[in-house]
Amino acid sequence: MLNDLFDSPWKILIIAAVVLILFGSRKMPDAARSLGRSMRILKAEVQGLHSEDEDQPAADAQPPQLTASAQQTSAQQIEQLQQQVRDLQQQQAAASAASGASAVEAQSTQQPS
């Protein structure tokens, strides 16, 4: 089917002219550049998949394990983050309480006696 389409140089010229008219001469270099980048990315991803397939049996043989010190460090980091969250919640509660008190004071000063 495609052989019939490209069997004559006239057909190729007509298709090229139609493409040029539809997309314009200014957009064609950008489109070609974009197509080239896409092809390079696709090629790199396919090669990456092939290399992962070759590396996978070796990775399955020895699963990574955390050492005791790494587990302890992770636990310490988690505890520090939880403490930071608690501190921020306390600060937020104090700030909202202070803003609530100032709003009550503002309302009481605005009411006529």
Please give the model's pTM, rounded to 2 decimal places.
Answer: 0.32
Q: What was the pLDDT predicted at 42?
A: 93
Q: What is the pLDDT of residues 43-69, one digit of tens each?
A: 999 998 888 877 765 545 555 566 777
How high is the pLDDT of residue 45?
92
Contact 23, 31 (CB under 8 A): yes
**Helices and strands (H and E) in the chain: how many:** 4, 0
Q: Which of these ranges, 12-16, 29-33, 82-86, 99-103, has the smallest mean pLDDT?
A: 99-103
Spacing of C-alpha 7 from chain mean position: 45
CA distance 88 to 93: 9
Task: Tell me the C-alpha to C-alpha distance, in Å, between residue 74 and each of 62, 68, 71, 85.
Answer: 22, 10, 5, 17
Task: Show me where the domains of the chain are located.
Answer: 1-56
Q: Which pLDDT belongs to residue 74?
A: 81
What pLDDT is stored for residue 105 in this prediction? Answer: 63
- The pLDDT tens digits of the residues spanning 77-113 come to 888 989 999 998 888 888 888 777 665 565 666 655 5
Measured CA to CA, the distance from residue 19 to residue 25 in angstroms comes to 9
